[in-house]
Amino acid sequence: MKYPLPSRRLVLTAILVSISLLNSLALAQKLETTSSDKKNSGVMLSLIEINPADLLFGRYRIAHENLILDGLSFSWIGEVQDSLANRNYVERNLATGVSLQYYPQSISLDGLFLRGESDIALSEVSEGSVGRRQAESGKAATLRIAGDIGWRVRLSERLTGSAAYGLRTTLPQTLWNSNSQLTQRWLIQKSDNPDARVQINLGVLL
């Protein structure tokens, strides 16, 4: 099933509303704590995070984020895309990778953050028939990169929430493929349509 891509205005509105709601929750949380509690409970060393909305798109994603320096964290990422239809192509992906997050206004995993991400994806791609060309399928290993901007807040002692918006793209050269012509056509189509993604994540502190 092909899911329509949201308009840019709708995407930006969703991320702004989400950040506003999360910021309001953070303010309420701070008003309920003393200054000493803030100092002790504001430091988050490690968390596991998921985006429940991904299930609507047949996507299963998990990230394990760890603070390594003040305001800088490192994450392991795993993602499975059950089925993604885009124009004449249907793809299934299994990916794993890493990301770095920078929190310019905080020494812990809190507030505004910038994220850079890279992963290796193994994809199974099917192309429908076009004119005289018959339907084809193939597999490919590719390198994907992404960039996000977002906001994270503490929702409770053990829960966090974050809203982020960013772009994802697949590099035009494959690491391996079983059908070079199909893969090249698929990558050209993907490079013309980068994946704009809104993420509303829930995290559990470890």
Structural contact between residues 89 and 126, judged by C-beta atoms closer than 8 angstroms: yes
Predicted pLDDT at 129: 81
| CA nearest to 122, candidates 136, 145, 143 | 143
> Residue 27: phi, psi to the nearest 5?
-65, -40
Predicted pLDDT at 64: 97
pLDDT in tens, the chain (206 residues): 444 445 555 555 555 555 555 555 554 444 444 333 444 444 558 999 999 989 988 999 999 999 999 899 999 999 999 988 888 899 999 999 999 999 999 888 889 999 999 999 999 999 988 777 788 999 999 999 999 999 999 999 899 999 999 999 999 999 999 999 999 999 998 888 888 999 999 999 98
Predicted pLDDT at 35: 38
| CA nearest to 78, candidates 58, 96, 93 | 96
Predicted pLDDT at 102: 97
Kindly report the number of other CB atoms within 10 A of residue 88's CB atom. 14
Predicted pLDDT at 190: 87
| CA nearest to 136, candidates 185, 175, 171 | 185
HSE at residue 109, side-chain half, CA atoms within 13 A, is 28
